[in-house]
Amino acid sequence: MASLRDIKTRINSTKKTRQITKAMEMVSAAKLNRSQEKARSFLPYTEKIRDVVASIASGNSDVNHPMLQERPVKKTGYIVITSDRGLAGAYNSSIIRGVLNTIAERHNSPDEYGIIAIGKIGRDLLKRRNLPIIQEITGLGDQPEFNDIKNLARTTVEMFSDEIFDELYIWYNHFVSPITQDVTEQKVLPLTDISSGNAKTSYEYEPSEEAILEHLLPQYAESLIYGALLDAKASEFGARMTAMSAATDNASALIDSLTLVYNRARQAAITQEITEIVGGAAALE
């Protein structure tokens, strides 16, 4: 059985751990609020581009752009968004598991797909499995700006235009609530469902509808990537806040359990000392 000193030391160390996890929980909660606000503020931009593109695509049957058309799939691109740090529960492992299962189901050879990794955790895990990582970016801030991933988003979209990829998907955790994040696969290219909605606004285009599409479609695809990143960041902070809350609760439960063991051991030691004193006094009589 551990000594009283050992138990006391463990209680003190667990209390320090609880202070750390509680502080991390509060920090993640503050970052979550900022991430949610940033994701919400970016959404109208993406919706407006989609509205304009849908208006052109639905109102002109002569529109013919490679990003709007399916073609035989020879190679698929996967953008995988994970975090740069752990301590976020199953946030990263659920994404990696989903990607690996999907790749195993759809592809027979590494030549049939390529991966664009955003986040150190996912990049390292995928590299250890020798999966083909074509592009990567790590070290993004807690509130990333579009300029932080502009080059990656642009070159990824260009890979589709250059027919390096014939379709492009993005994998990320969609934020539902601080305790719920849904692993999501979103098709980025080709934009086959862009005209599925009914455009509510009539536009006049200058110089032409084709020129507008040529400019807007890459921007729209890039905005989908950035929007998914903002959504994933909110999910990351929600997952970390929940994980740190659970860690804090577990630390409190462990402290209560250790305190009970400590008090029992201390009571037993006191009882033993009293017994020895009484026994010694009786022996002297």
Q: Exposed, middle or buried by CB within 10 Å (0-12, 13-18, 19+), for 91? A: buried
What's the CATH number where 186 sits?
3.40.1380.10
Query: What's the pLDDT score for residue 62?
Result: 61
Query: Does residue 97 belong to any structural domain of this protein?
Result: yes
Query: What's the pLDDT score for residue 47?
Result: 83
Q: Enter the tokens of residue 203.
A: 């536009």
Query: Does residue 8 belong to any structural domain of this protein?
Result: no
Helices first, then strands: H and E counts in the chain: 5, 5
Query: Does residue 251 belong to any structural domain of this protein?
Result: no
User: Digits of tens for pLDDT over the chain (285 positions)?
Assistant: 568 888 888 999 999 999 999 999 999 999 999 999 988 888 888 888 888 777 776 655 566 777 878 888 899 999 999 999 888 888 999 999 999 999 999 988 888 999 999 999 999 999 999 999 999 999 888 899 988 888 998 899 888 888 889 999 999 999 998 888 999 999 888 887 765 455 556 667 677 777 777 788 888 888 889 999 999 999 999 999 999 999 999 999 999 999 998 888 888 878 877 777 777 766 666
Q: Range of 213's domain? A: 25-242
Q: Using CA atoms in the order 257, 260, 262, 263, what is the torsion angle rounded to 10 degrees? A: 170
pTM equals 0.85
- Assess contact for 121 and 86: CB atoms under 8 A: yes
Angstrom distance (rounded) from CA 176 to CA 235: 8
Query: Does residue 250 belong to any structural domain of this protein?
Result: no
Query: Does residue 3 belong to any structural domain of this protein?
Result: no
Query: Does residue 231 belong to any structural domain of this protein?
Result: yes
Query: Does residue 206 belong to any structural domain of this protein?
Result: yes
Number of domains in the chain: 1
Query: What's the pLDDT score for residue 196?
Result: 47
